[in-house]
Amino acid sequence: MRIINVAEVTIAIKELFIKANYVLPDDVLQKIREFREKEDDKCAENMLALLEENAITACRDDIPICQDTGMAVVFARVGQELCFNGGLFTDAVNEGVRLAYREGFLRKSVVGDPLTRINTGDNTPAVIYTELIAGDRLELTALPKGFGSENMSRQRMFAPSATEQDIIDFVTETVKIAGGNPCPPVVIGIGIGGTFDYSCVLAKKALCRPIGSDNGPYNELAQRILNEVNKTGVGVQGLGGKTTALAVNIDSYPTHIASIPVAVNISCHATRHASVTL
């Protein structure tokens, strides 16, 4: 049994959220460059160049990529042979978020009650998903999720007779409805299967995977969705062009015979995330 003090978790979470808000992942930045080179619309090309410049400046000057530094989402894969001491894991994660948003000068965007709307003042509590895995390691992924894009996400419970084209149409419709609100070009996370709620978790987890990573049996479907979305004409920042989405990532899970749950979690061009293994 390996023992880890929760103070290490706090430090790791703090560093992950600061990094995620300052440094755009290389795969996302590379896709922005690739689509800029292929873009026919001059306005869209110029805006993609500005997005690239913004990401480079943020990394160089240690400032946030975007003013919306997101609600803190944490995916924790916990080895079954790992034991925490020194306090509660959840408290350690929230303390790390608290420190990150204070010391990293990140905007605090969380309200304690959805209806009374009083800001908690430190961007806590985080949304934490934990999964038990073999071994004695702790894998942490920090996802600061902006809500301009989060607000545009959707879920639908399809009948088992639904086709891949039905899913393509649903995702494309979602992007059209979103328009410029999620600050496109977007990255689209899709969850297929599980239950109503778990399909949404799958979609969010998909956003944490590198662009171009293996979608398993859904590689062709992901490419078809990307092609259709980029034909919508929504374009960069909703102002036209053929670059509406940078990528489509799909995660799946077995489901019930009576349904096909499908969730679409949209991320803006700044698809920020960072991971570490302790």
Peptide bond into 182 cis (omega under 30): no
Would you state the CATH architecture of domain 147-271? 2-Layer Sandwich (3.30)
264 and 188 Cβ atoms separated by less than 8 Å: yes
pLDDT classification of 54: cutoffs 50, 70, 90: very high
pLDDT digits 0-9 by tens, 1-20: 899 999 999 999 999 999 99
Dihedral over Cα of 60, 243, 49, 67: its sign: negative
Of the candidates 95, 61, 77, the one whose C-alpha atom is nearest the C-alpha of residue 208 is 77
Which residues on adjacent β-strands are paired with residue 193? 253
The rounded distance, in Å, linking the Cα atoms of 220 and 79 is 33
Q: Given this model, what pLDDT does residue 2 score? A: 96
Name the 3-class secondary structure at 32: helix
* Structure token digits, residue 234: 């929504």
Of the candidates 130, 119, 72, 75, the one whose C-alpha atom is nearest the C-alpha of residue 97 is 72
Beta-carbon-side half-sphere exposure of residue 155 (alpha carbons within 13 Å):
20
How far is C-alpha 14 from the chain's CA centre? 18
pLDDT digits 0-9 by tens, 77-116: 999 999 999 999 999 999 999 999 999 999 999 999 999 9
Check whether 152 has a pLDDT greater than 90: yes
pLDDT digits 0-9 by tens, 229-258: 999 999 999 999 999 999 999 999 999 999
Which DSSP state fits 216?
Answer: G
How far is C-alpha 169 from the chain's CA centre? 22
Helix (H) or strand (E) segment spanning residue 155: strand 154-158
The rounded distance, in Å, linking the Cα atoms of 227 and 192 is 19
Domain limits, the chain:
2-22+65-145, 147-271
Beta carbons within 8 Å of 2's beta carbon, 6+ residues apart: 79, 81, 82, 83, 136
pLDDT classification of 59: cutoffs 50, 70, 90: very high
Q: Which value, to the nearest 10 degrees, does the dihedral of the CA atoms of residues 31, 173, 184, 225 take?
A: 0
Beta carbons within 8 Å of 34's beta carbon, 6+ residues apart: none
Chain mean pLDDT for the chain: 97
The rounded distance, in Å, linking the Cα atoms of 89 and 63 is 28
89-103 and 6-22 helices cross at what angle (nearest 10)? Answer: 40
Which DSSP state fits 253?
Answer: E
Interval 208-224 mean pLDDT:
94
Query: β-strand 260-267 against 127-133: which pairing, if any?
Result: unpaired
Q: Given this model, what pLDDT does residue 118 score? A: 98
The rounded distance, in Å, linking the Cα atoms of 142 and 62 is 18
Q: Given this model, what pLDDT does residue 127 score? A: 98
pLDDT classification of 212: cutoffs 50, 70, 90: confident
pLDDT digits 0-9 by tens, 159-201: 999 999 999 999 999 999 999 999 999 999 999 999 999 999 9
Which residues on adjacent β-strands are paired with residue 167? none
89 and 6 Cβ atoms separated by less than 8 Å: yes
Q: Given this model, what pLDDT does residue 190 score? A: 98
